[in-house]
Amino acid sequence: MRSRSSVRLLSALLALPLLAGCFSADPETEGAAADGARLRVALAFPPAENLSPYGADATILSRLGVTEGLTALDANGAAGPALAASWQREDDRSWLFTLREATFQDGTDVTASAVAASLTHATRAKPEPAALTGVTLTAKAEGSRKVRITTEEPDPVLPFRLASPSLAILSGKAYEEKGRVDPVGTATGAFLITKVGGTSSATLARYDDYWGGLAHASGIDVKFIADGTARSAALRTGQVDIAEAIPVAQAASLEKDTLRETATTRTTSLLLNSKSGVFKDAGLRAAARAAVDNSALADGVYEGHADAGVGIYGPAVTWAEGRRQQPVGRAKAGKPDGTSITLATYDNRPELPEVAQVLKQQLEKAGFRVRLDVREYSRIESDALAGKFDAFVLARNSLVDTGDPVAVLASDYTCDGGYNLALLCDKDVDRAVAKAEGTADTGKRQDAAMAAEAEILGTDAVVPLVHQRILTGVGTSVRGVLLDPYERTLVDTGTRR
């Protein structure tokens, strides 16, 4: 059993931000009926990578209660037990995790060797999971119930890192097919996938041997509906019980008691390709940034359900504002003089195409000529990562990968970052991010993160647009939906109708 003193020690090591929102669940979730009604859920993002946990699909699996890691973030942003019942830090680079009694959905036991093998597979994934950006770790079984994890460099936030959906623990069967990770029937969560209908649907059954107890719902029927209007209509007409990412424009069409608004750590930004093309020129990046009026986006496109962008971290990260620094080393704005650019985004988040349209008008007023490219996310991600656009509008949760505010800086804005859509490679940025990564003290780490943010914003490769609040549609008969600021959870054992 993990001691209270060890919990206090870990929290003191790195307390995550107190968030403006917290996990929101309905009461009365104890107990489960053996024949509970199935849940019907509409998700905005269809699988983009065959449900591999190492990329964008990881949160699909965690939100549906399929996968789990060694740890999980609680409502206050602290790392708590999941498949690991407890842990202790042995020295600067080594941690020992003690596993709880659990089984994989294929009936095999969750053993130390299975956990070590699963984490080893994650370390070898290409591209690497964002949670492992800048980190080299090894996992080794110590007997049947303990796993020692050692990092090449000191990593004070390792328990938070291991809560990432991309570091979910799967059985050996998941890795049998070379080059593919298969979570179907190989995870540890309350629900197991029984059927995947391509990118349109999935069927889940309750996993009756789940270590956390029997779920209320007997299963989940999932529809992947990229169109926000269609998701809203499915909820309104009773076709689904839960619909994520309700468009602001559709809010008025739904009954007030079916809408839940959650403050999140998600920031929508304009990312400018700093490696090639037009925006390799720092002066033209500065001109684009100066052309943006983000208050018009917050009040107009989002109808007040968002705050004007002030940085990579928004109001939900409550410590950030008091530590925010002015951007460092911005270039003087150049003259676009009719320069042509391609601005891209995706339509799974329904406001983004409208944001892009407003940005097009603002940039054209400043002298750019703008062509829009809007697609469904799974059809545009690879092109965005390859730098095929001059500019990209992205909604990104700054704490989703690890719960650590520094992790998103490493993955999104450093030379070796695995999700660097701005293709930014700046030695001063890398140096500032590395300093933040190596700082353990809570306050000093936050200060270092804000110093790195100032370096990043100074390049004008990222222009914060709005800090988002998420609208989720929940049927009036539904109880126990989990709405958290990290957007990692949605249903669990207590969710029912």
* Vertex 475: Cα angle to 473 and 481 (nearest 5): 70
In this structure, what token pair is assigned to residue 303? 């109808």
Q: Tens digit of pLDDT per residue, the chain (497 long)?
A: 333 333 333 343 444 443 433 454 444 334 444 568 999 999 999 998 889 999 889 999 999 999 999 999 886 677 899 999 999 999 999 999 999 999 999 999 999 999 999 999 999 998 888 888 878 999 999 999 999 999 998 888 899 899 999 999 999 999 999 889 999 999 999 999 999 999 999 999 999 999 999 999 999 999 999 999 999 999 999 999 999 999 998 998 999 999 999 888 889 999 999 999 999 999 999 999 999 999 999 999 998 889 999 999 988 888 888 999 999 999 999 999 999 999 999 998 889 999 999 999 999 999 999 999 999 998 999 999 999 999 999 999 887 677 788 889 999 999 999 899 999 999 999 999 999 988 888 789 899 999 999 999 999 999 999 998 889 999 999 999 999 888 899 999 999 99
Q: Are strands 242-243 and 462-474 parallel, antiparallel or unpaired?
A: antiparallel
The CA distance from 422 to 384, in Å, is: 9
Q: Which residues contact 270 (CB under 8 A, 6 or more apart)?
A: 288, 289, 292, 359, 391, 392, 393, 462, 463, 465
Q: Which residues contact 381 (CB under 8 A, 6 or more apart)?
A: 48, 56
Report the CATH fold assignment for 263-469: Dipeptide-binding Protein; domain 3 (3.10.105)
The CA distance from 143 to 124, in Å, is: 24
pLDDT at 487: 86
Burial of 409 (0-12, 13-18, 19+ CB in 10 A): buried
Phi, psi for residue 300 in degrees, rounded to 5: -90, -70
Q: Which residues contact 352 (CB under 8 A, 6 or more apart)?
A: 268, 345, 346, 374, 393, 395
The CA distance from 266 to 9, in Å, is: 29
What amino acid is encoded at 373 in this protein?
Answer: D
232-287 pLDDT tens trace:
999 999 999 999 999 998 998 999 999 999 888 889 999 999 999 999 999 999 99
CATH C-level class of 4-222: alpha beta
Q: Are strands 39-43 and 219-224 parallel, antiparallel or unpaired?
A: parallel
pLDDT at 11: 40
Q: How many CA atoms lie within 13 A of 88 on its CB side?
A: 9
DSSP 496: B
Residue among 90, 88, 95 at smallest CA distance from 6: 88
Neighbours of 327 (CB within 10 A): 16
Q: Which residues contact 27 (CB under 8 A, 6 or more apart)?
A: 479
Q: Which residues contact 15 (CB under 8 A, 6 or more apart)?
A: 77, 78, 442
The CA distance from 463 to 450, in Å, is: 15
The domain limits of the chain are 4-222, 263-469
The CA distance from 88 to 218, in Å, is: 37
126-173 pLDDT tens trace:
888 888 887 899 999 999 999 999 999 888 889 989 999 999 999 999
The CA distance from 437 to 487, in Å, is: 23
Phi, psi for residue 415 in degrees, rounded to 5: -55, -35
pTM score: 0.74
Helix ranges (H only) for 237-328 are 282-291, 294-296, 320-323
pLDDT at 35: 65
Q: How far, in Å, are 387, 492, 494 from residue 26 at the CA level?
A: 43, 12, 9
Coil vs helix vs strand at 305: coil
Q: Are strands 137-142 and 146-151 parallel, antiparallel or unpaired?
A: antiparallel
* Vertex 481: Cα angle to 346 and 190 (nearest 5): 95
Question: Which residues are paired to 196 by β-bridges?
Answer: 202
In percent, the amount of the chain with pLDDT more than 70 equals 92
Contact criterion met (CB below 8 Å) for 78 and 15: yes
In this structure, what token pair is assigned to residue 186? 């190989």
* 4-222 and 263-469 in the same fold: no
317-350 pLDDT tens trace:
888 889 999 999 999 999 999 999 999 999 988 8
